[in-house]
Amino acid sequence: MWTTGTGEINIIENVNDVTNVKTTLHTLGQCNVPDSTAQAGETGTLTNTNCTYDPVTGKGDEGCGVFSTDDYSFGGKFNSINGGVYAMEWTSDWVKTWFFRRDAIPSDITAGNPIPSNWPLPYGNFAGDCDFDANFQNQRIILDNSFCGSWAKVDFENTCAATTGASSCAAYVGNNPQAFTDMYV
């Protein structure tokens, strides 16, 4: 699940058999976020502090991302606990993301009146040298299951090819439709 417009917020993303959800920001304008874990501002693991993407050179395509440390926040393990709730708070000062297992959803969410200030630390806390109002405008939400994009292709070759016996991500997907019967959007 992601939003796009001016800038992009990948709220829920990851590939293949990974079990930890990742949130990533991509901006065209300058945007840098410090490691909030060191500042006790998030529980996740930051992968990159520079969110800026240059479409001319292709530099910065990875964006700035944070992995949740909850091994049940994505993929098969997520399904095994009957899912949960992802939440995002986007303000002029930050973008924060949370994952709550189904048995730990805050009561204010289930009551339809979410109050993020009452929740525990987010796994992702993107704040810092970034004009969030300028970098994220006219967002629309997209729900999809993507197959074999550039990230999934590389990860497949590094981690899945040996266990599946398939020569590529596209070959595996094309020859194994039954492997995707439990995929949902």
Give catalytic residues, as residue numbers. 8, 13
What's phi and psi for 88, nearest 5 deg? -135, 135
Q: How many CB atoms lie within 10 A of CB 56?
A: 5
**Distance (Å, whole) CA 110 – CA 85:** 10
CA triplet 117, 123, 129: central angle to 5 degrees? Answer: 80
The tokens of 75 are what? 């993929």
Do the bridges between strand 22-26 and strand 2-13 make them parallel or antiparallel, or are there none, so unpaired? Answer: antiparallel
DSSP for 167-183 reads SSHHHHHHH-GGGGTT-
> Alpha carbon of 116 to those of 13, 79, 96, 105, 184: distances in Å?
21, 25, 9, 12, 27
Q: How far apart are CA 28 and CA 20, in angstroms?
A: 27
